[in-house]
Structure formats: C-alpha cells, structure tokens
Structure 1
Amino acid sequence: MTPRLTKRILTISLIVCLLGYAIWFSRNQADHLTAMSKLAEQRTAASEPAEPKQTIEEPTSKVYSKRIVEYHMNVKLEDSPIGKTLQGSQSVTWTNPGKNIVNELYFHLYPNAFASKQSTFIQESGGKLRGDVMKEGSYGSMEITDMQTEEGMSLMKRMQYVQPDDNNPNDRTLMKVRLSQPVKPGQSITLNMKFNVKMPGVFARMGVAGNFVMAGQWFPKLAVYEPAGMRGRTTEGWNIHQYHGNSEFYSDFGTYNVRIQVPEAYKVAASGFPTKSAAQQDGYKTYQYYAEDVHDFAWAASPDFIYAEQPFSAPNVPGVRIKLYLDPAHKDLQERYFHAAKVALARYSEWYGEYPYSTLSIVVPPKEGNGAGGMEYPTLITAFGAMDDNPGYDLERTVVHEIGHQYFYGMLASNEFEEAWLDEGFTSYAEDRVMETEYGIVANLPIESSYMTDPAPLSLFAWKYKDSNQYAENVYTRGKLVLIALEKQVGAKTMAKIMKTYTKKWAFRHPTTSDFQRVVEQVTKKDWTDFFNQYVYKGFMTDYAVESITAKKVDNNGTSAYESKVILRKKGGDYPQVPVVFMFKDGTSVKRTWDGASTTIQYTLTHKTPLDWVMIDPQDTMVLENKRINNYMKAQIDEAVKTRINFSTAKLIESILNALGW
C-alpha cells in the first residue's frame, strides 16, 4: 500500500533526464544527476535545519523486476478549510506485458473508501479495523482533476467508476479509463494526471492525527494486467477489485520518482531513498525520493519526528541504512527499534535471500495515530502508536513482523485481494521463528490452534470471509499453523529449503498458492495434493478423538487379566502419524502410532490391570488439532466425580431452560 503540480512538463522532463539512468531509456544521465544533486545541496546548505542529514543516493544498475510501471509524481501537503489535503500530479507510464491490444486502463482510487458510509469498505468493516474506529464525520476522498495523454488530449470524459465485486454504485475505489489509442503488446502509454486527496482522520492505514500524516495508498495507482500463464490465468486480462473491509493490495513492480512538499517544520519518511537534500522555499520544504523494483510508494510526515539513522550489514545484507522516525514518547527506546530491525534483516536475509534495497525506514506514529501503525510498505514500515513507555515485546514483535513483509508482501508481491495468506500467514510463520531465535519467545501453538473456532479455506478472496475475525483467524493464524504442520512432517531442514527455494524462485514474480505447492513437491519429491486440498483449499483442521473404551476381565493363559477395546475416530483432516498413549492402572504405558488414514481404528490391549486412560497426541505435536478436549478419555469415572458431573449437568440444563423461559 502506498503512502499516504505545477510546471508539469518542465519538471517531468528534467526528472526523466536525471533518473532515466535506471530505467528503460537510459542515456548516460548518471553524471548529470550527480551534478544536479551537488548543486541542490550547495543552494540549500544555508537553510538546512538541524535535522540530521540523510545520505543522498543514486539509482543502481541492477534490475530485479520487469518494471511494468513508472511514476513521476509531485505532491504538496496543505492545510485547507476542510483539513489537510494533498495536491498531486503524476506522469505514469505503463507497458503492455501481454499479447493482446489493450483499450482501457484501470486505476485504484483507495482514498475514496473513506468518502461515505456507503462505500464498500465502510459497509463491510463497519468503520472499524484492528480495534480502531473511524471518527464520525472524518471522511476522506480522492478527485481526479485532470487526465491527458502525452499529446494533450483530455480523457476526463472517458473515466468511469466500476464495481466488479459487488455492483455497489456508491463505491468509487476503482476507475476505468477508455483510451483514445490502443496500446499494442510491448508498447507503452504515458498519462499525465492531477488529483486532490482529502485526508481522513487516521484510520485503516492512512490519514491525519494532529500534525502526523500517513500517506498510504494516496495516489491513483494502476491495477495489474496479467498475461496468460501469470498466476494460473488461461487468458490475459486485468486483475481488478474494489477496496474491501478485509483486503489489502496488489500492484505491478516499477520505479517511482517523487517530490514531496511539506511545511518547513515537517520531516518526511518515505519509500526508497533521497536523491537530493531537502530544499526550503516560501515556508515549504521539498524532499525528493526515488524507489526502484517496488510495487508501491508510501510516506509519512510530522514536525515531531525524532530522526536517527544507523548503517547495517550482514552476510546477505550488503549494506542498508536503517532510518528511524520516532514519536517523542518513544525517544528512549530507539536502540530497541534498531536492534529488532537488525536481527530481523539478518535472519530473513539468511533464510529467504538477500535484502535487495539500500534503505529501510521505521515510522513510529503518535498514540492518536495508531490507526496508521503496524503496516508494511516497500522499504518502509510503521510500528504501532507510541502508547506506552514500556511496551514489552510487542515493540519487537511488530517491527519483526512488518520487516518480514518486505519479503512476502514486498518482494514476492502475491495478490493480497485473492490469496492473503501467502503474505500474512507466511510472515507470521517467519515472525515466530525470529522471536524464538532472537528473544526466546516460543509461540503457544496448542492455545493458538484452539482459537480456530471458524476455519475456512485459505484461498478465499479476502472479502469472502464472514467478517474480520474469521479473516484474521484463518489468514494469519491458521495460515501459519498450516506451514508449521508442513514443517512437522518434512522436518526443519527440509522446510528451510522449501521456504528459501520459494522466496528466491518467485521474488518479483507474484506467486500463487499452487506455485508454492509445486515448490514443496519439487523439494520433497512427494505429492502434497491431499494436504493442500484439505488444509489450504478447504477449511479442515485435524480432529482425532477417543470415541469409546470398553473393558472386560479375561483369562490369559490361566492368569486373570483385562482386555480393553479402544475406538479412535478421525473427525477432521488427515495426519500421517497420530501418537496415542494407553495408561494402565499399574502405571504401565503403551504407545502406538496410528497412520490416521481410516475413519476409525480399534485397539485391543490385554494387560494384568485395567486400562486407566487413553490420550491422543500427549505432546501436542499435531499443531492443527483444535479440539483437544476429545483427545483424552478416562476408562472409568469415580462415582463421586460422576455424581458431581451429573449434578452440574442438570443445573446447567435447568439454567438454560430458565433463561429460555424468561
């Protein structure tokens, strides 16, 4: 999700020349860019504030993605009678990656999710997200004020809001533009646009809280055109969805060159890296950022940020500048933020491949800006709002989790509309590994599996879940548990190979669940169709139960003994090795392993003393087992205990009947 006008032709021409070095039509402009950057530094040195100087960087020659899109943008943060607004312009170039002629483009206009109570986002979410509530009357919106071709032809009358998911005529988060000229395969089109954004009170990842501004999903963003074969498509076409209460985002990789104007007291954090020192003029400060091989661009601004920067390198992190933008309430916690970022980068790069970017920014919002917290953007993350001066390990966990998204959201860029678990479930799995390895915090998996009260397929579109609780339960927690269950079966070493193979093979390529399954099968040389069908494409959990115990006294070669028959039943998905323990009255235990394939199995055991109890999975190794209450059965219940149980049951029934009668 991306962060939250003027002299257009001259400005864009200059930017293209300066930064064209890293793009398709590079013509040796690197020296020009360096000279212009030095000139800008000389001109602004006298007016540079006390804010620590950021390192000025240049584009690299390494290209990771296909760079389907290219944005050159200008945005100005202004105060107006209706609140804080963004005045923006952009020149966006799109290259047709398919084999067919394209006659229209689609743009996501995410701020319109907050335009009224009738938008699809508000209707589905009820104006609530992750515990935050949209303030009454605090609306936001986006208006396209101009759209032209490079030749100067207006496309304003060719724009149309569309609602492919729910036909809600009041939803304006997706726009179609009919082009004046078709775009042939491999050819490009450039549109010049102007737009205004009214910022809502901070909620659902973007907005304003006092002086704090989070610009996420703040510009008209092109949808993804998928060629045949991409993500399993049989025919090429646009992947288009509205902004839903549960959904996040999906975009093409490209380059971003962005000029951000803010009041002179503000400091700016943004995706990518600065290519010039900030320049001041007429009460405003202008920042210039550049990002490449990313699919979004976000920025945050506040006059209150306490800025700190530390370099970091590791075997698979050639060199990264970690930039911290702290709310003053957490000014004494900066080393904890830096340490969490460093261990996360080191571990993730070791496990999943090299971190390819030169920067990573961490924004800590103020307490009242918590709605913008706990979110990921390319090379920029937000922690939760600075509510507590002693936040416990939630501080580290949030940073570790959001940095994990730099891989599964940032580099792999799976479709979060349609397969959110590939981002959230995988990131939650990776987060747990870092928290255990670096901080000794081990997830309580039996408790987490018991939370799975409403399992559903992981492959559902985000808005197809019943509500935000079912979405989070499955996409985050059950998704993670499915990966751990896979690891339990293949072993930690093989699972590490699976994850690294998947992330390195599919980086910058928008993988799907089936792509991940193929990697699992390639690495293990085994068919995993049943596992994926049950636990991914369907909402299965593991549920093995002790159904009955019967016993009788028998003669065993002239010796008195007891024959016990135990029936176990499979009520959920398959598990290949189900451990079972039988405990006898004399303390003797017998262990068995059931292959878990059949619906039921009967065990007959003969022993000198009666069977005392039976327990399935006593060590809690089956992480997808969510109904452990039926894993245990005692052969006999003491009469006094039985009486208490019967009495309690009777009282419970009596209470229910009384309540119904009332």
Structure 2
Amino acid sequence: MVPTRAKIYLSSLLALLTLAGSMILLQNQHASGPVFGPESGKPPAAAKAPLSPPKAQHDMPAPALSTRLVEYHMDVRLEPEENKLKGKQTLTWTHPGKKAVTELYFHLYPNAFASKNTTFMKESGGKLRSDIMPEDGFGAMTITGIKTTEGLSLIHRLQYVQPDDGNIHDQTLVKLRLPRPVKGGESITLIMEFEVDMPKIFARMGTAGDFVMAGQWFPKVSVYEPAGTRGQKEEGWNLHQYHGNSEFYSDFGIYSVRIRVPEDYIVAATGFPTKAAAKSNGEKIYHFYADDVHDFAWAASPDFIAAEEAFSAPGVPGVRIKLYLDPLHQHLKDRYFDAAKASLKAYSKWFGSYPYSTLSIVVPPEAGNGAGGMEYPTLVTAFGASSDSPGYELERTVIHEIGHQYFYGMIANNEFEEAWLDEAFTSYAEEKVMELEYGLTSNTAAQAASITKPAPLAQESWKYGSHEQYARNVYTRGKLLLQDIERQVGESVMHKIMLTYAKAYRFKHPATSDFQSVVEQVTGQSWQDYFDHYVYGDDMADVAVQHIEVKNTGTEEKPSYTSTVTLVNQGGPVTDIPVTFAFEDGAKVEKVWDGSSEKTTFKITSGSPLIWAMTDPEYTLVLENKHINNYLKAGMDPKVVTRWNLSITKLVETLFGTLSW
C-alpha cells in the first residue's frame, strides 16, 4: 500500500518516499436459521436469482506453483440500492500440519467498520492516510449460514475471538468449532452464506457513489502454520484481529468467482474471465478464475473506461494489462500502460518471472481515493482521479503497487507481524524503477531525518502506535536499510541477494530471518550484529564530530599546525565513513573511517590551521538521521554545540511531527 506521503513535498527540505470473544446470535430473518454477525437493522432485499457458487474449477488448471491449501468457489451479487453484497461460497481447506485441529478461524475484515469501538477504528481514529470515515460510513459482515457438505448447520458453533487486545466490540476474527477433528493432510469443505453492508470508502474497501471496491469482502480462513514456517517451532493458527496499521496474511489457493452486478456496470477482478460476461434479468454476470493467489478482490463501476494491451518481455511471457479508468483520466491511459510495462520489465529481471496472465489497474474516482494505492493479487489500484494532469505520483503509485505483486503477492510474508518485508522491499524496488525510467531520485537524507522515533522492523504492525510512525519505519526506515546494505555490498551483489531471496521464497511465506540468511549466504559473512541493531532493534546511524583541537606547532618562519579530531559513533554499526577536513588556506583533506570502533581520532599536520571537520558530507550514510552533529567548527564550545544540536533536533521532530503520512 502507498502511504499518503506520496503526496507530500517539502521542496526545500524533502523529497519523501511515496508512496498507512464476543458472540452475537441474532434471529435470522430468513427461514433457514440464525444469523451470525453485527446487527444491521435492515431486512434483506429479495434475491433476483439464487446464488450458486461455480462447482468446477478452470478446465485446464495450470501446474501448481504453490501449496494451494484453500479453494474458494464463490457467487456474489452487488445490490447497489441497499449498498450490500450477498454472497455464497464453498470453501475447501487442506490441513498443512500434523496435529488434528478441532476448529477453524475466519477473518471477517468488514466488521472493522461496524462501530467506533472496533479495534481498527479505535487505533486509526476513523482515518487511513488522509481519508476520513464519514459519519454515516459504517459497514459490517454477517454470516447468514454455514454448513457441512452433508447439510449439518454449524452457525451456532461460531464465536468471535479477540486474541490481540480482548476488545469484545471487535468482531473481525471468528472461531468455528468443528463437528469432527481434521487430521494433518485431510481436507474439509464448508458451504457459507454471508452479507456485507458496504462501508463508505476510507480504508481500502467500500463504496463511493456507484464505485465499488470489494477488497477483503468474504469470510477468509486464517493461516495455519506448520512447524518451520517463518521459523515457528510449533505448528498452529496465526491469529490476529484487523488493526489500524496492519494489512493481511492468507494461504495460497484457487479462486473461482461469479460476480453479479447491474447490467450497466463494468467489473475488474483478480485473475482472468473464463468467458464473456452475460446479461440476464437486468444483471451482468462475470466469472473469474485465479490460481496460486492468496486473495481475490474486485471493483465495479458503470463509469469505468476500459482499455487493454498485451505485453511481453524477458520474464514476462505474455500478460494482458487491463486499465479501468475514471473518466477524468481517460486521456492518461498511455502513462498508466507505460508505468505498468516498465514495472513488469524491471521486476521480472530483478525478482523472477511474472507468472500470471493478467494485470489489472483500477483508477477510482476522487471520492473513492480511500480505495487507491492498494495491492491485490493481479489487481492494483491507483490513487483517486482528483486532477486531469497529475505529476509523477501517478507513475510512482502504479510502480509501487505492481512491485507488491512480488513481495506481498508471490513471496507473501505475514503482514500482521513483519510488514516491512513487503512495504520496505516494494519501496526499495519502486525507487529503482523511478530512477531507471524517469530519472527521479528521493532525498534520502531528508527521509532519514524524518525518522525521529525509530522502532524495530520485525514486529507486529499495531505496536508502532500511530500510522505516521508505522509508515516512517515500515516503509521509509526499512527501505533505507536495504539501500544501506546495497551501499556496503555494491549493486551487483545486492541484485544477487534480492533475486536469490525472491526465487527461494516465492510462494513460501518467509520471515525476516530467512532474508537475513540469504544476505549471509550471498555475502559469505555474518550480518547478525547489523540486523540486531537495525532490524530487531531500533537504532539509526549517528556519527558525530565530537571534538577538535588545533595546536600551533610551527614557527613564524615555518608555520605548522597539528589538528586532532575526535569522531564518535553514537548509533548502530556503520562502515566506510567519509570525513572531510577543511583548512584556512582552502585546502581539504578526505579520509575514511572504517567504523570498527566506537571512537577514533585523526591527527593531521598542515601548514594551515583546521577550520572545520565533517563526517559524511555527501550524505551517503542513508541510515543517519541526525546530520546536525556531523559538522563541527574548530574552537566551538562543546556545551554550546550540545545545546545547539538538541535545539535543532527538537525543531526537526516538531517539523516532521506535523506531517501526515
């Protein structure tokens, strides 16, 4: 996902990285049984035709690239008059572990918007990036039925759980007690019916007028991790609620989805259409299929301007790039296509081939901006069309989101617990494409200076507190860390690291420790100390000129001065630190400190007195966020320097604290 900072520029300082158990059993209004979900207060509208999930998968399924532990067959209808989705799904889940399980868990993400008391709303304050939830923008999911293939109803076995914070008002995770245990390697099939009262868009999913973004819109089974996955010593469910900062984590599988919309609507979706859309009884019916993906999203609007182009390149054997444009951006289709092609060409070279046959780009209307800048398998969203002549944020957003197809999509880390493995890696890749294709680079020194509260990268997303701190660490600090590794090992070795990691862990759900292992494998050396400080710890680089002493050691006839300069490392480990010494006669001496100790002293004899010294004058140490102490003038009182540095640091913290990411 792209943070709001993609739109924030401080022209004189900053070119910022572009991018944020309570169970209620209600009496069902249908004759089929009880309803399980937040109270909606609305009677359901009469269905136009019964929902029936497609039973057969694609005629010629591709060879499996992933474990395919889940298989969803879904039928969903959009009811725009009620602002509602009505769905039915047949889910088959295969147990990847060894121990028998007696329950399944499902993510009910739309329930994050059920009230102001959900965990998501309390943590986010009803805001994501710069988009704010309207007062009447609530939404929720209701499970109206769940049964086995034998017809046994299980709805009374559902129970909301809140493993992260115990918030009984949060109903984004539900437990289903099974009628019989499922052993390792066995599968279970469930038939589920559900309804979603769509929220008004401010956080990824919802509606804005006739525009619909259906992301995280169906009951999604949680991930059961076998021992060894992401370094887990014991197998078990990975269970988290929907938080203000966190995104998602799911297993790979097969999706066969029928989508019913009013006949004037156009639908964009994950995967590819198995046949042309058909009209029936005032509806248009689409059928999409996707395999080796871990989610399925779709968007719909009667206003979409659709365009499509074929593209192939080394590593991209053939893909249909599909645009679904807001009318305001109809004339910009070539810019979208060019950005998409540049992304696919570069990423397939750097991270391996793009294995899917489609890539869809949805451009929401301005009112639907909350759905913009988001990634789903084979489908991404640009930011809302608010201007008919946008700047390079158009390309940057598309390039960023397509980068997610690799890290979020194929490598598929746990975004609840280690979001940096997606967001930082995607931001790192995005920067490279922007420089390669458009000649644009970011002000890394200003980006580092904005990180006034560094925090560990390998931690749960909600532990960062504000979305601002989440973005500055997970996106910016993580990206800078990758750039710093590249600074140390060189571009060609870094390319080998990234390609090795991307290929080794494609469809594998890796952890931070897996990436560290690849870095150590490729470079042939330990990086434990570095990762302890910068990844598992909260350090930034902080190299300072601590003291300068200049002594006149010559004579009037033969001037000579001995300058002693003390440098100190007050932050995490740093290597190859450039230092500049400037003298009164205009001469400069360049040195390099290897950074192997916490403190070092340089002694320089010259015919002219030293007037100042500075570490990292070109700002190549991308993880350094306190540049003010890099410079010291000879003869300055250390107490004055300390007070000055503290004042400037406070000013920087105040300045960047006013920015909304």
TM-score by length of 2: 0.88
Which residues in structure 2 correspond to 1:468-617 (within 5 Å)? 468-555=467-554, 559-617=558-616
Structure 2 match to 1:279 = 278
Q: Which residue of 2 aligns with 1:75?
A: 76
Amino acid at match of 2:504: K
- Corresponding position of 2:362: 363
Q: Which residue of 2 aligns with 1:297?
A: 296
Query: 1:125-184: CA deviations, max 9, x gaps?
Result: 000001000001210000000000111111111100000000000000000000001111
Question: Aligned residue for 1:66?
Answer: 67
Q: By how many angstroms is 1:609 displaced?
A: 1.3
Aligned to 1:50: none
State the identity as a percent: 61
The AA in structure 2 aligned to 1:470 is Q
Amino acid aligned to 1:530: D
Which residue pairs with 1:135 in the alignment? 134
Distance 2:500 2:598 in 1: 35
Partner deviation per Cα, 1:582-616 (whole Å, 9 max, x = no partner): 11111222222212132221222221111011010
For residues 372-396 of structure 1, give each alpha carbon's deviation from its aligned partner in whole angstroms, at most 9, with x where no partner exists: 0000000000000000011010100
Q: Do structure 1's residue 164 and structure 2's residue 163 form an aligned pair? A: yes
Equivalent position of 2:210 in the other structure: 211
- For 1:34, the equivalent position in structure 2 comes to none
Q: Match of 1:244?
A: 243
Letter in 1 for 2:107: H
- Rg bigger for which structure? 1
- d(CA) in 2 for partners of 1:61, 1:250: 23
Tell me how far apart the structure 1 counterparts of residues 392 and 559 of structure 2 sit (CA, whole Å).
59
Quote how far apart the aligned CAs of 1:556 are. 7.6
| Structure 1 CA distance for aligned equivalents of residues 465 and 355 of structure 2 | 38
Contact 2:559 2:608 in 1 (8 A): no
User: Secondary structure, in 3 states, of the residue corresponding to 2:74?
Assistant: strand
Which amino acid is the alignment partner of residue 259 of structure 1? R
| Counterparts of 2:328 and 2:599, CA distance in 1 | 59
- Residues 344-365 of structure 1, C-alpha deviations (whole Å, 9 max, x = no match): 0010001100000000000000
Letter in 2 for 1:164: P
CA distance in 2, matches of 1:214, 1:247: 19
- 1:298-313 alignment, distance < 5 Å: 298-313=297-312
Structure with higher RCO (Cα < 8 A, 6+ apart): 2
| 1:342 partner amino acid | K
Higher helix share: 1
Moved more, 558-567 or 389-398: 558-567
Provide the residue aligned with 1:345 in structure 2.
Answer: 344
Give secondary structure in 2 for the equivalent of 1:351: helix
What is the rounded CA distance, in whole Å, between the counterparts of 1:519 and 1:547 in structure 2?
37
Structure 1 residues 402-444: Cα deviation after superposition (integer angstroms, max 9, x where no partner): 0000000000010000000000000000000000000110121
* CA–CA distance in structure 2, aligned partners of residues 79 and 480 of structure 1: 41
Q: Could you report, residue by residue, the CA deviation over 1:253-274 in whole angstroms, capped at 9, with x for unpaired residues?
A: 0000000000011000000000
Greater mean alpha carbon deviation, residues 251-260 or residues 572-581: 572-581
Separation in 2, partners of 1:164, 1:309: 44
Q: Distance in 2 between matches of 1:485 and 1:317?
A: 30
Letter in 2 for 1:148: K
Q: Secondary structure at the match of 1:70?
A: strand
Matching of residues 89-168 of structure 1 within 5 Å? 89-168=88-167
| Aligned structure 1 segments of 4 or more residues deviating by more than 6 angstroms | 5-9
Shifted more, 423-432 versus 579-588: the winner is: 579-588
Output the CA distance in 2 between the equivalents of 1:205 and 1:301.
Answer: 14
Q: CA deviation at 1:8?
A: 7.6
Distance 1:488 1:434 in 2: 18
Aligned-partner Cα distance in 1 for 2:431–2:80: 42
Aligned to 1:320: 319
Cα-Cα RMSD: 1.9
Deviations 1:503-545 (A, max 9, x none): 0110000011000000011111111001111111111111000
Q: Distance in 2 between matches of 1:150 and 1:560?
A: 96
Letter in 1 for 2:55: V
SS in 1 for 2:614: strand
Structure 1 pair 102/557, CA: closer, same or farther in 2 (3 Å)? farther
The amino acid across from 1:446 in the alignment is: A
Shift of 1:466: 2.0
Deviation at 1:72, TM superposition (A): 0.3
SS at 1:629 equivalent: helix
Whole-angstrom distance in 2 between the partners of 1:349 and 1:136: 44
Give the partner amino acid of 1:394: E
- TM-score norm. by structure 1 comes to 0.88
Question: Mean Cα displacement is larger for which, 585-594 or 553-562?
Answer: 553-562
Give 2:55's aligned residue.
16
- Secondary structure at the aligned position of 2:553 is classed as strand
2:9 maps to none
Aligned counterparts of 1:386 and 1:218: Cα–Cα separation in 2: 23
In structure 1, how many angstroms separate the alpha carbons of the residues matched to 2:560 and 2:196? 82
Contact 2:204 2:372 in 1 (8 A): yes
Aligned position for 1:394: 393
1:475/1:347 CA distance change after superposition, 3 Å: same
Shift of 1:306: 0.4
Deviation string 1:233-256 (CA, Å, 9 cap, x unpaired) is 111000010000000000000000
The 1:606/1:252 distance shift into structure 2, 3 A limit, reads same
Cα separation, 2, equivalents of 1:572 and 1:165? 32
Q: Secondary structure at the match of 1:290?
A: strand
Partner residue of 2:626? 627
Which residue number corresponds to residue 35 of structure 1?
none
Taking the aligned partners of 1:280 and 1:366, their CA distance within structure 2 comes to 26
- Unpaired segments ≥5 residues, structure 1: 22-29, 31-58, 653-662
Change in 2 beyond 3 A, CA 1:177/1:8: farther
Q: How many Å separate the matches in 1 of 2:381 and 2:526?
A: 40
SS in 1 for 2:473: helix
Q: Structure 1 counterpart of 2:222, which letter?
A: A
